[in-house]
Amino acid sequence: MTLFWSIYVGVLVTSNLALAIFLYFYGTRVKIPIEGDGTTGHSWDNGHLRESVRRLPRWWAVMSLTSILVAIGYLVLFPGFGNYKGLLGWTSEKQVSEAREENAARLEELFERYRKYPVDKLSDDATARQYGHRLFQDNCAACHGAQAEGGHGFPALTVNGDDGDYVVATALTGRTGVMPPWGQVLGEEGVKDVANYVLSLSNEPHDAASATAGKPKFEQTCVACHGADGHGNKALGAPNLADQSWIYGKDLATVEQTIRDGRSGHMPAWKDRLGEDQVRLIAAWLRHNALEHRASEDAVPVADTRP
């Protein structure tokens, strides 16, 4: 606080406190002229109502004096009088710093215990998962969804979140995935054929003849990243094309757009913000969540579509 504002605050506080003290002593000792009947002489309703005068009650005087003394004591002990720091030396920054240090010490005890175990083992610990889920909601849910279900342009971690080491490495250092445009290489008809073949890998509705024509084109242009079976390559950031997870949508027009124009995705590094300890807890929850999601899908009975 500058000298000007320190003086301004000091004058303001002193003036208000002095006024409060003056009003207290004035209000408890002032004598108001009254008439013989104990009233001020003011009347209403043609003299039926007259203004009476009584001394301030004792409880009001005690409460007011206590409030003044507390205010003076506060100004002596705590900062509130310009740049005066108070006898206790208290500051909000100091209190926050002490609270953060105390919280960091508690977390360190927790992290020290969890550092002994790999992510796969941590996913079996309910407390670790609870911390991980909270950290995920605070830092990751905006892009990947509250339950890691993903969203448009962001992968569903219910599918590939079971690999703890991969999740940790990705979150700490970030990852960039680039799908190059293939429109000029394949042509419009080739884009359509490859899109239908991609849809056939995950049993989505597609044109069978077009998919058959697209298979050799897929093998010529796409297997280097997505593999011959379309299961993708995590190291390259190439998604699995044979599962039920779609980052941009599974309709034919969207798949064609991806193949024709390409895509670019960037996962920022979270090492500086979260650190390895917190990222490992997030990965533990993601692994447990992904395994539960997979188990629930496997438990759903498949309808018999035979004629």
Higher pLDDT, 254 or 234: 254
Domain ranges of the chain: 3-77
Q: Indicate the pLDDT class of residue 301, thresholds 50, 70 and 90.
A: low
Nearest-CA neighbor of 155 among 246, 56, 258? 246
Q: By the 8 A CB rule, do 205 and 199 touch?
A: yes
Least confident range from 21-25, 33-37, 233-237, 238-242: namely: 33-37
Q: By the 8 A CB rule, do 294 and 162 touch?
A: yes
User: Residue 271: what pLDDT?
Assistant: 94
Scan for tokens 């044979």, then name that residue: 242
Give every CB contact of residue 215 below 8 A, 6+ residues apart in sequence.
197
pLDDT in tens, 159-174: 778 888 889 999 999 9
Q: Indicate the pLDDT class of residue 306, thresholds 50, 70 and 90.
A: very low
161 token code pair: 């979140």
Residue 85 predicted with pLDDT over 80 = yes
Scan for tokens 């999740």, then name that residue: 167
Q: Indicate the pLDDT class of residue 299, thresholds 50, 70 and 90.
A: low
User: Residue 303: what pLDDT?
Assistant: 44
Distances (CA, A) of 226 to 152, 163, 177, 198: 20, 18, 12, 11
Report the alpha-carbon distance of residue 180 to residue 259 in Å, rounded: 8
Cα–Cα–Cα angle for 75, 79, 81, rounded to 5 degrees: 60
User: Residue 298: what pLDDT?
Assistant: 66
**Looking at 80-222, which runs of residues are DSSP E strands?**
175-179
Higher pLDDT, 230 or 36: 230
User: Residue 177: what pLDDT?
Assistant: 84
Report the alpha-carbon distance of residue 243 to residue 156 in Å, rounded: 11
78-99 burial code (b ≥16 CB/10 A, e <16): bbebbeeeeeeeeeeeeeeeee
User: Residue 231: what pLDDT?
Assistant: 92
Least confident range from 59-63, 107-111, 160-164: namely: 160-164
pLDDT in tens, 245-277: 888 888 999 999 999 999 988 899 999 999 999
**Looking at the chain, which runs of residues are DSSP E strands?**
39-44, 49-52, 175-179, 263-267
Residue 305 predicted with pLDDT over 50 = no
Q: What is the pTM of this model?
A: 0.67
Q: Indicate the pLDDT class of residue 19, thresholds 50, 70 and 90.
A: very high
Least confident range from 26-40, 68-82, 165-179: namely: 26-40
Scan for tokens 């209190």, then name that residue: 95
Least confident range from 37-51, 175-189, 205-219: namely: 37-51
How many angstroms from the chain centroid is the CA of residue 115?
24
Determine phi and psi for 130, rounding to 5 degrees.
-65, -45
Q: Round the average pLDDT of the chain to a whole number and report it.
A: 88
Looking at residues 202-229, what average pLDDT do you find? 93
Q: By the 8 A CB rule, do 280 and 119 touch?
A: yes
